[in-house]
Amino acid sequence: MSLGYAEKLSFIEDVGQVGMAEFFDPSHVLQCKIEELAKMIQKSKHLVAFTGAGISTSCGIPDFRGPKGIWTLQREGKDLPKASLPFHRAMPSMTHMALVELERAGILKFVISQNVDGLHLRSGIPREKLSELHGDSFMEMCPSCGAEYLRDFEVETIGLKETSRKCSNEKCGAKLKDTVLDWEDALPPKEIDPAEKHCKMADLVLCLGTSLQITPACNLPLKCLRGGGKIVIVNLQKTPKDKKANVVIHGFVDKVVAGVMEALNMKIPPYVRIDLFQIILTQSLSRDQRYINWTLRVASVHGMTSQLPFVDSVEISFSDNQKYKETVLDKQPFLVKRRTSRTETFDIFLTVNYSGGCDCLSTKLNIPFEFEVSTEEHGEIIDKEAVLRSLRERAVEESSCGQSGVVERRVVCEPRSEAVVYATVTNLRTFICQQSLFANGDLKWKLEGSGTSRKRSRTGKRKSRA
């Protein structure tokens, strides 16, 4: 998962302390600390979460400095961990979704992330309440107008380099750049400034799954102390900031957060992933105007040259199988070209098959084919947010995925082209937390899901710190 990011980073010999020992609080101590943290959150007026790689390990994304971390295994000369699913299919963890619920309830005011996996945004944390200090592997930005583009594929570069795409703003059109920092890159003011502001305002900073070694990022939580704020650290390893914390909890972040949510009598919302693709049907008359040459394409909503990482193949068949043979498109771009007589009408049947990491196997669509002469360009007015909200609600109510709907439809007259954007629920993940006591007093948790020592200067270079 984060292997690609680690490989793209510039080489640096000293990545700091790795292979740090993990510690686990005894069950009765852990429970007491969970209850204490819940009370602190309940009393908090300005809660800020500061997150690291430890909140994403349960998503299948390896950390860097743990016993089985990427840099730990590299230093030991061992094979790197294998990703359990493609990076772009990683789903938010229980902790990610608990933070979403706390934000919706008005308790959590801001999230500061050192991760580049984009899971906070996918989970539903509003962009204006999130600082991604080190960037986002799935985000491109326009250096000219500042527009941001969240992708369903991992951006190919890091280090704030130009990508192969341009800003879609007609008045701009500048080349886009990735947002992930390399060792030599400084923290962007757009991210660190609001992070500093909220840490200074915070009466409680909750540090989750971070070794608190990357500077200056690791010093952000300390800024709450001057105003009388408190710090709580939840991490398996000891950190350099433990002495500054009011409470240090050694335990799995998901278990701790699940216990806190239970103590607060708050439910952890499910995660529903919706992916978009478009079907473009282009038609043109032959020179003698007797035939229609047409092309059907299943494409990314991010542009014709972008890949569809979650689509494996497309099966196409027709209502009149005697004239048109069915076909299977198993390589991108997914397109088929045909010629028909001008007066023919028929139905095109599509089965869009999804790739690994999707709970939904496929989506079946029926596209009526009838040539129309039109001199006007138009689009159907569709309430996209209402459609997406309905899909999410249905997925949760039915405890399944696969629901789909149209969120955009537009027509261009010359050459005649109709593009329809479909939204499909490809993943559903629910969380059940059950806490019970064994006879020996150990805590049992049921967590179900459907489905660094780097020194980074704000204005200078990033360096490792032992």
Buried b vs exposed e over 267-285: b needs ≥16 C-beta within 10 Å?
Answer: ebbbbbbbbbbbbbbbbee
411 within 8 A of 374, measured Cβ to Cβ: yes
Q: Which residue, 277, 238, 264, is CA-closest to 47?
A: 264
Which residue, among 249, 112, 218, 206, has the nearest Cα to 453 in the 3D structure?
218
Q: Which of 134, 198, 250, 302 is catalytic?
A: 134
- Does 167 carry a binding-site annotation? yes
In angstroms, what CA-CA distances link 62 with 71, 73, 90? Answer: 10, 11, 12
- Cβ neighbours of residue 198 under 8 Å, at least 6 residues apart? 46, 48, 109, 110, 112
Q: How far apart are CA 17 and CA 452, in angstroms?
A: 7
| Beta-bridge partner residues of 311 | 354
d(C-alpha 50, C-alpha 271), whole Å:
21
Distance in angstroms (rounded) separating the CA atoms of residues 75 and 89? 28
433 annotated as ligand-binding: no
Q: Is 224 annotated as a binding residue?
A: no
Let me know: does 448 contact 12? Beta carbons within 8 Å: no
- DSSP code per residue over 135-186: --TTEEE-TTT--EEE-SS--S--SS-EEEEE---TTT-PEEEE----TTPP
DSSP character at residue 193: H
Separation of CA 116 from chain center: 9
**Cα 196 vs. chain centroid, distance in angstroms?**
24
Please say whether the beta carbons of 114 and 143 come within 8 A.
Answer: no
Nearest alpha-carbon partner for 163 in 6, 299, 305: 305
Nearest to 16 by CA among 69, 95, 62, 88: 69
Structure tokens at 367: 């596209």
Two tokens at 221? 């939580």
Question: In angstroms, what is the C-alpha Rg of the chain?
Answer: 25
Examine the residue annotation and report whether 302 is marked as an active-site residue of this protein.
no
Say if CB 140 and CB 118 are below 8 A apart.
no
Q: Which tokens in the block code for residue 2? A: 């984060």
| Binding site feature residues | 142, 145, 167, 172
| Binding site feature residues for Zn(2+) | 142, 145, 167, 172
Q: Which residues are catalytic?
A: 134
